[in-house]
Amino acid sequence: MLEIKNLHARIAEDGTEIIRGLNLTVKAGEVAAIMGPNGSGKSTLSYILSGRPDYEVTEGEVLLNGESILELDPAERASKGIFLAFQYPVEIPGVATMQFLKVAMNEQRKARGEAELTTPDFIRRVKEAASELKIDMDMLKRPLNVGFSGGEKKRAEILQMALLEPLLCVLDETDSGLDIDALKIVADGVNALKSPDRATIVITHYQRLLDYIVPDTVHVLYKGQIIRTGDKALALELEANGYADIIGRAA
Amino acid sequence: MNMQINQPVRLTAAETALVEAFAAQVGELPGNGAVTGTRDRLLDDLKRSGLPTRRIESWHYTDLKNLLRSVPERVVGGVSVDPIAPLVEGAKVLSIVQGVADNRATIDGVELSVFRDQLADGSAVAGLAAFDKDDAIARINGSFVRDGFALSVPADVAVEQPIELQAVHGAGQVHTRFPAVFGARSKATIIERHCAVTEDAALVSSISDLTLQDGAEITWIILQTQGADDTHLGQIRISLGTDSKLRLFIVNAGGKLVRQELRVEVQGEGSEFTLRAVNLLGGDTHTDVTMVLGHNVPHTSSTEIIRNVLFDKASGVFQGMIKVAPDAQKTDAKMACNTLLMSDDADFSVKPELEIFADDVICGHGATVSDIDRNHLFYLMARGVPENRARAMLVNAFVAEIVEELEEEKLVEALEGVISDWLEKHA
């Protein structure tokens, strides 16, 4: 599904290189966890996949189902099926949440040549997905993310993910700022979306989230490269021993 | 001191056209002897000092003499302009077509007369005077005004449906007045709407004169959607009594040259003045909102939020002066002006001024100018919203935020409709 080959990328503004020859393959149906210490490039990777203009790719390839995505803008990537659940979802006053959801769903459908949703069909889908995630419809009457608690924002991200039905889900530290109940709801939401033709990348600092979203593969990112790949046992090892061991061995 | 002071002013084409238009209408403009005398003086003042230039401080950013290139001729008869649907369904429409008010209009619970009758019997004469020598709008309007509506809501009356003062016009000149008195504890929502229905140039001047008696709670909305070649000179005068509340909402979404003046006197303790303004500016146009607000007694409050969106080569101005009188203690006044510049060729000037003579007050002002927030844009695009659509949503959001403060659902929806239609055409 996703192939990243020898990826080099830097911050556009000051040229600081963040990703330095990263290789990663994630297959359809796979849940891949990316772990790593602060500053290793985890969030940058998520932004590069989603096309944030603040970063420049200087070398390498990113292929989604064999097709390069690096020339596409964020909206085009989204309609190809890439979804980033933000670590810090932004508040946008004046944009009604429901209107935003409808525009996003229909713009993606348009881009794929599909018919737009009718209003009743749209409302039905939102109600179903919201109830799964224990989101009150009143919350969706507010402007986008405005006044949402940390937990509500993360649930709203997963709601969007459920409605947009992406091929590749990238969860950027979705566990940050969540209490254990909220974490379970969010994890259940993510697990419900697992399917043989969808891949998920879970970016996290901690093993905790991986108790609920069980990964097939675990990759350790350090200084812009994957320095170790394993299965879920690797995450447990990191939890027990910290990153120092693995970093030391890779150096 | 100044040698030039005694030299006659050389009149511009527009000034000459105004003088000639007045001469052509002598004997025809409605009014008794006192009104006619006042008109003559106002026109004479206009002729002697000309239109204001940038050397006049209150007109510094809107040099009317240079900006008003020409004045369209008055169109007499043969104008086929029809009233349009009200902004809000169910509103009571008071229709002014090409400057002539419909004298058959009635509204339950509201005392209503056409302004031409007040001119004819002379009761309008005091209101025709200019504030000062720089009050060009009162000079023009006072010289030429022919009609409008005078409305009065008696004490304790709550007018259920919004009232729409609907001034529609084609090409030519239109000069209207709307004096309104709101009795003690009365409630009403008034929509003052200025709307061009043809593309040919018009010169419009309009003055509204609002008196809120004790405890009145009024929402007054000015919706200006003039044509691309029109000049709109508006003035609203406001006097607030004890414990009264006025929410004034202004939308400028049209016109080639627009000046909206607000002269607000907060006269009664416990009163509240709220101004929200949305200026949507595009093309090669100039729009000016100038407010002078006097807090004259203790324990009053005011807030003003001005939101501007500019495209193309548009230019805009907001001048906001808040004066706090020496004994107006506990005044609470806040003013903010936020501008979204969508083009490098557009500009917006902001001049906040505070004149505070009391020592126990809260007064603040702030101004921002920005482009669209990149984080917001990225977030929307990351959900599949194409860049143009995402930008339009964010511009809309920038102004929708203050429209939503109006809370009445139908009104919010109608104004948001006006705004999104404008943005679709200009963005």
With contact defined as beta carbons under 8 Å apart, do A10 and A56 qualify?
yes
* A103 at B interface, C-beta within 8 A: yes
More confident site: A177 or B169: B169
Cβ-nearest to A94 among B378, B382, B397: B397
Residue extents of the structural domains in chain B: 10-268, 373-427
- Tell whether the torsion through CA atoms of B55, B58, B60 and B66 is positive or negative: negative
| A107 contacts in chain B (CB < 8 Å) | 384-386, 389
Chain B residue at shortest CA distance from A73: B381
Determine which helix (DSSP H) or strand (DSSP E) holds B113, and give its type and residue range: strand B111-114
Q: Do A103 and B400 touch (CB under 8 A)?
A: no
pLDDT score of B2 more than 80 = no
Residue extents of the structural domains in chain A: 2-250
pLDDT of residue A251: 63
Percent of chain B with pLDDT over 70: 97
Which of the four pLDDT bands, split at 50, 70 and 90, describes residue B211?
very high
> Model confidence over A193-215: pLDDT tens digits?
999 999 999 999 888 889 999 99
pLDDT score of B3 more than 60 = no
More confident site: B83 or B279: B279
How far apart CA B127 and CA B310 sit, in angstroms, is 35
With contact defined as beta carbons under 8 Å apart, do B196 and B169 qualify?
yes
* A12 at B interface, C-beta within 8 A: no
Query: Facing residues of B345 across strands?
Result: none
pLDDT of residue B199: 85
Strand order in the sheet with B217-225: B100-101, B92-97, B163-169, B187-196, B217-225, B245-252, B272-281, B301-310, B332-341, B362-370
Which of the four pLDDT bands, split at 50, 70 and 90, describes residue A47?
very high
Residues 206-245 of A with CB under 8 A from B: none
Cβ-nearest to B397 among A89, A93, A111: A93
CATH code of the domain made up of A2-250 = 3.40.50.300
CA-to-CA separations, B197 to A109, A204, B83, B168, B228, in angstroms, rounded: 38, 60, 9, 7, 11
Task: Work out the average pLDDT over A118-145.
Answer: 93
Q: Do B387 and A111 touch (CB under 8 A)?
A: no
pLDDT score of B417 more than 90 = yes
Q: What is the mean pLDDT of chain A?
A: 92
pLDDT of residue B120: 97
Task: Work out the average pLDDT over B207-236.
Answer: 98
How far apart CA B363 and CA B320 sit, in angstroms, is 13
Report the residue of A54, A76, A103 to disrupt the B interface, i.e. the one with the largest count of B CBs within 10 Å.
A103
> Model confidence over A51-68: pLDDT tens digits?
999 999 999 999 999 999
pLDDT score of B5 more than 60 = no
| A52 contacts in chain B (CB < 8 Å) | 378, 382
How far apart CA B93 and CA B102 sit, in angstroms, is 10
> Model confidence over B120-132: pLDDT tens digits?
999 999 999 999 9
pLDDT score of B81 more than 90 = no
> Model confidence over B13-65: pLDDT tens digits?
999 999 999 999 988 999 999 999 999 999 999 999 999 999 999 999 999 99
Phi, psi of A97 (to 5 degrees): -60, -45
Within 10 Å of residue A233's Cβ, how many Cβ atoms? Answer: 9
How far apart CA B352 and CA B342 sit, in angstroms, is 23
Nearest-neighbour CA in chain B from A161: distance (Å):
9
Cβ-nearest to A107 among B375, B385, B397: B385
* A75 at B interface, C-beta within 8 A: yes
Within 10 Å of residue A155's Cβ, how many Cβ atoms? Answer: 22
pTM: 0.86
Q: Do A104 and B376 touch (CB under 8 A)?
A: no
Which of the four pLDDT bands, split at 50, 70 and 90, describes residue B82?
confident
Cβ-nearest to A90 among B375, B390, B404: B375
* A147 at B interface, C-beta within 8 A: no
Nearest-neighbour CA in chain A from B198: distance (Å):
33
Determine which helix (DSSP H) or strand (DSSP E) holds B235, and give its type and residue range: strand B231-240
How far apart CA B189 and CA B173 sit, in angstroms, is 28
Q: Do B384 and A160 touch (CB under 8 A)?
A: no
Q: What 3-state DSSP class applies to A48?
A: helix
With contact defined as beta carbons under 8 Å apart, do B222 and B260 qualify?
yes
Residue B43's nearest CA partner among B124, B117, B176, B138 is B138
pLDDT score of A240 more than 90 = no
ipTM attached to this prediction: 0.96
Nearest-neighbour CA in chain B from A4: distance (Å):
20
pLDDT score of B1 more than 80 = no
Q: Do B390 and A75 touch (CB under 8 A)?
A: yes
Q: Do B385 and A73 touch (CB under 8 A)?
A: no
pLDDT of residue A186: 87
* A39 at B interface, C-beta within 8 A: no
Residue B172's nearest CA partner among B123, B99, B121, B113 is B99
How far apart CA A77 and CA A71 sit, in angstroms, is 9
Residue whose entry in the numeric block shows the structure tokens 């409709």: B417
Residue whose entry in the numeric block shows the structure tokens 């009232």: B163
How far apart CA B395 and CA B380 sit, in angstroms, is 13
pLDDT of residue B140: 98
| B378 contacts in chain A (CB < 8 Å) | 52-53, 74
pLDDT score of B427 more than 90 = no
Residue whose entry in the numeric block shows the structure tokens 């005091």: B126
Q: Check residue A134 and give left, alpha or beta (phi > 0: left; psi -120 to 50: alpha).
A: left
Q: Do B397 and A92 touch (CB under 8 A)?
A: yes
pLDDT of residue B8: 62
